[in-house]
C-alpha cells in the first residue's frame, strides 16, 4: 500500500484528495497536517467523510516521515517552506502554483504534471508540480494542434470557473450573496495561469511568436470550468476532429464529443470533455472539467498512479453528478 501524507489538510483540494484516497485500492492516509487545526477531528472539518475515514483521525501538527508521498495543499507561496522539512527520499506532488514555472528546489527537480503531455517524464519523476485548473482546461483544448505544429495565429480564450476555484477562505468575490445571480471578469490578459499556459505553448512550438489572449470569468456556481478557445485553422472540421481523437485515444480521461457539451457532465469526475467546431477559417474548441478533480486533486491522484506504475485511472472511475 502507498502511504500518503497531506500537508494543508483543511481546504477544498485536500478534502477532495482525502475522498479519493479513502476509496483508492492501493493507498492509505498516513497523516493529514494542518498547522491551524491540529488536534481536531478530520471529519468535523470535512463533514461528509464521517464513516469513510477513521472517526478518531485527527489533524497532525507534524509530518510522519514514514510516508511514501506527500501532497502539498498549503496554498500558494508555502511550498518551499514545507519542502524544507520533507526528506529527499519522499515523493512530492505540489498542488500550488509555486513550482510550475521555477521547477527546482534544492535537490528536487519538478516535472509539470500534465499526464496528456508528460506521462513518460512523470513516470520517472519523484517530484510533480500539479497544473492549475484553468491551465489544464485550456492546454488540453489546444495540445493536439501544438504537437502537430499547426498554430500560426493568435489564440483567443474565454473561460468561466466556479467559486471553489478561489479557495475556501471567504472573500468579497466568492461570498454567496455576491456570486449569486452575478458574473464578472477578472485579471483579463494577466491571470496567473496564463504564464504556465504560455510556458507549455511556447515550449512545444518554440518558434511561435503569436499572442495569447485569455479572459477569465467568475461564475455563480460552485465547481467546474468551461473554456472556449479559437484560433486560425486551414484544415477542415473533420481533419481537426481526427487530430484530436487520434491524440487523445490513449489518454483515459480526455474525450472528444460529437455533440454540444456542458459543465454538469464532468462534475465529480476526472474527465475533460472537448467539443470541436469550425466557423469560416477559425477552429473553436470548447472544453469542460471539474476544477477540483481534473483541475486539481483528481489529476494529482492520476499523477501518483503514473509515478507508482499503477493503472492511470485507478481510483478515479467516478460517476458524474448531473442533477
Between vectors from CA 71 to CA 78 and to CA 83, what angle results, nearest 5°?
Answer: 45
Residue 101 is classified by DSSP as S
CA dist., res. 147 & res. 127, Å (int): 24
- List Cβ neighbours of 313 (8 Å cut-off, separation of 6 or more): 252, 253, 270, 302, 305
pTM for the structure as a whole:
0.94
Inter-residue contact 79 to 99 (CB < 8 Å): yes
C-alpha distance across the termini of the chain, in Å: 35
Angle between helix 115-124 and helix 133-147 axes, rounded to 10 deg:
100
Record the cell numbers describing residue 178, joined without a space.
455576491
Question: Alpha-carbon distance 313 to 293, whole Å?
Answer: 13
pLDDT in tens, 123-182: 999 999 999 999 999 999 999 999 999 999 999 999 999 988 655 555 666 667 777 889
Q: Is the pLDDT of residue 92 over 70?
A: yes
pLDDT one-digit tens code per residue, 150-165: 999 999 999 999 988 6
Ranking 79-83, 108-112, 161-165, 188-192 by mean pLDDT, the lowest is 161-165
Distance of CA 224 to the CA centre of its chain: 11
Structural domains of the chain, ranges and CATH numbers in brackets: 2-130+296-307 (3.40.50.720), 133-289 (3.30.360.10)
List residues with catalytic annotation: 133
Amino acid at each position: 500500500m502507498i502511504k500518503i501524507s497531506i500537508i494543508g489538510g483543511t481546504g477544498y483540494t485536500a478534502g477532495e484528495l482525502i475522498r479519493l484516497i479513502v476509496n483508492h485500492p492501493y493507498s492509505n492516509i498516513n497523516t493529514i497536517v494542518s498547522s491551524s487545526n491540529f488536534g481536531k477531528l478530520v471529519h468535523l472539518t470535512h463533514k461528509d467523510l464521517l464513516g469513510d475515514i477513521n472517526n478518531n483521525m485527527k489533524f497532525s501538527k507534524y509530518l510522519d516521515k514514514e510516508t511514501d508521498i506527500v501532497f502539498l495543499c498549503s496554498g500558494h507561496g508555502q511550498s518551499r517552506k514545507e519542502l524544507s522539512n520533507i526528506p529527499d527520499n519522499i515523493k512530492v506532488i505540489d498542488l500550488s502554483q509555486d513550482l510550475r514555472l521555477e521547477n527546482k528546489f534544492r535537490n528536487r527537480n519538478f516535472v509539470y504534471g500534465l499526464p496528456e503531455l508528460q506521462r513518460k517524464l512523470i513516470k520517472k519523476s519523484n517530484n510533480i508540480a500539479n497544473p492549475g485548473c484553468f491551465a489544464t482546461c485550456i492546454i488540453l483544448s489546444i495540445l493536439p494542434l501544438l504537437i502537430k505544429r499547426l498554430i500560426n495565429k493568435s489564440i483567443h480564450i474565454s473561460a468561466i470557473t466556479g467559486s471553489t476555484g478561489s479557495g475556501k477562505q471567504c472573500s468579497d468575490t466568492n461570498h454567496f450573496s455576491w456570486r449569486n445571480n452575478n458574473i464578472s471578469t477578472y485579471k483579463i490578459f494577466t491571470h496567473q495561469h496564463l504564464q504556465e499556459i504560455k510556458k507549455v505553448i511556447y515550449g512545444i512550438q518554440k518558434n511561435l511568436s503569436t499572442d495569447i489572449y485569455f479572459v477569465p470569468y467568475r461564475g455563480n456556481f460552485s465547481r467546474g470550468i468551461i473554456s472556449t478557445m479559437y484560433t486560425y485553422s486551414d484544415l477542415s472540421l473533420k481533419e481537426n476532429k481526427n487530430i484530436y481523437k487520434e491524440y487523445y485515444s490513449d489518454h483515459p480521461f480526455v474525450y472528444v464529443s460529437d455533440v454540444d457539451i456542458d459543465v454538469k457532465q464532468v462534475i465529480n469526475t476526472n474527465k475533460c470533455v472537448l467539443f470541436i467546431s469550425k466557423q469560416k477559417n477559425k477552429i473553436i474548441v470548447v472544453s469542460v472539467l471539474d476544477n477540483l478533480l481534473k483541475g486539481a486533486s483528481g489529476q494529482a491522484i492520476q499523477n501518483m498512479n503514473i509515478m507508482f506504475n499503477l493503472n492511470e485511472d485507478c481510483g478515479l472511475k467516478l460517476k458524474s453528478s448531473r442533477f
